[in-house]
Chains A and B, each alone.
Chain A
């Protein structure tokens, strides 16, 4: 448990810093609210729609899904990497098998055009 005391203290400091600076700013900053000032920035023109009507490419979702798959892969790699010296050749071959399966998925995603951005 004592190993985690520094983390708790440091996180408290890290959390309190933005709170304190924002509170100080709240006390001393200028404030003259105006409905025109509060409009979202649109190069000087009043916005016709809200930002939530903006369309964006479906590929962003695709990247997010691919990320989850490959991020889990890296999580598997980490303990293997640390134990590598003790696992010896067996561990190396095991990981080659694991990577070959992943590579199949990677090549599939690439050939289906999931990584293209045109």
Chain B
């Protein structure tokens, strides 16, 4: 009993601290990456290569004055103070059902690890992730509504429409993956993608379901409010949208939640469509070494997609709002439906 709880606590501590440590690293990657793409230097003064810059930023943010705009009273004030915390709690707790490594039956303190995932026996898996992630809309909408600022209000309302529309495309594009793997658990989804077709094509879902993969990645960009879909905080029109009025640590909470969401989105892209920790033609060694190698493979793939987020941000211009909604409703949803229809037709024909 106590060994079991100890194993769980260790997992929770490791996962949450890694997740939160990735935030400053991603901030650094984004700023240096932006500088690289725009042919300038970027932050390079604090520490080697400017690596300590995010820590200095955090110290600055935490010592800043925390302002509440006048006119925000009563319930609005409660919502105003609550919204950043909701954003952060939702962003972190999504990671409960995300597996991040191969477990060949390892034991810790005489108790089985049960896979590298915080909640191993949660049979809801992807449903849990979507259910919790969709709560993230509340933080944006409440922040926009409670700020008593018309830019925040417009940002919050845009956010509700955008996140809600792309959530549809996102969930529908996952249906094809669930059909082939026959389980909600993401560990089963990854296991299903091990091995190769014809000896050289990895059995990753991205190859037969390229449409689903593209719709999922595009929807992931929209769900995390990243460019080219950051209409929510379009600085040319809305100052910075829903967190215009936020300062100090409350602003930092929104900022952190954005980066944690990016990590989760990249992990989901890797797990659902790019084989998770599997690598074709590579047999993971037994024991702890194998587990570490598989976690390493997973981390490299996730790192690629995190870089992809940064890369796209500094490459593409922003959509117009009508274009955004047209893309979401008239292109993404039909494509996502087409994806699982093709998968279903293929599987039905094979079983005839």
Contacts and interface: CB of A to CB of B under 8 A. Distances in A.
Interface of A: 2-7, 9-11, 13-15, 17-19, 21-22, 24-26, 28-32, 35, 37-42, 47, 50-52, 54, 56, 59-60, 63-64, 66-67, 70-71, 74, 77-78, 81-85, 88-89, 92, 95, 99, 106, 110, 115, 117-118
B45 interface: no
A6 B64 contact: no
B88 A17 contact: yes
Contacts of B194: none
18 contacts: A10-B12, A18-B85, A21-B253, A25-B62, A29-B62, A29-B248, A38-B70, A39-B69, A41-B69, A42-B149, A50-B148, A51-B149, A64-B161, A66-B329, A81-B178, A82-B183, A92-B348, A115-B326
A38 B154 contact: no
Nearest to A83: B182
Nearest to A62: B161
Contact of B329 (A47, A51, A115): A115
A54 B153 contact: yes
Given A10-B119, A81-B340, A117-B325, A51 B93 contact: no
Contact of B347 (A26, A41, A84, A99): A84
Given A9-B9, A18-B88, A82 B165 contact: no
B164 interface: yes
B284 interface: no
B315 interface: no
A59 B120 CA distance: 42
A18 B16 CA distance: 13
B89 A18 contact: yes
A59 to B, nearest CB: 8
Contacts of A9: 8-9, 12
Contacts of A7: 96, 118-119, 122
B149 A85 contact: no
Given A5-B5, A19-B85, A30-B63, A115 B148 contact: no
B168 A81 contact: no
Given A67-B168, A78-B127, A89-B348, A17 B16 contact: yes
A13 B250 contact: no
Q: Which of A7, A31, A115 has the most CB atoms of chain B within a 10 A radius of its CB?
A: A7
Contacts, number: 206
B178 A78 contact: yes
A47 B244 CA distance: 15
A102 B184 CA distance: 24
A5 B15 CA distance: 16
A117 B321 contact: yes
A112 to B, nearest CB: 13
A22 B9 contact: no
A113 to B, nearest CB: 12
B70 A35 contact: yes
A28 B148 CA distance: 27
A40 B149 contact: yes
B223 interface: no
A34 B154 CA distance: 26
A42 B238 CA distance: 11
B271 to A, nearest CB: 16
Given A35-B70, A40-B147, A63-B165, A6 B96 contact: yes
A6 B322 contact: no
Interface in B46-66: 62-66
B153 to A, nearest CB: 5
Interface string B320-342: 01100110011001000100110
A22 B249 contact: yes
Contacts of A29: 62-66, 248-249
A37 B239 CA distance: 17
A91 to B, nearest CB: 9
A40 B70 contact: yes
B249 A41 contact: no
B172 A77 contact: yes
Nearest to B8: A6
Nearest to B70: A38
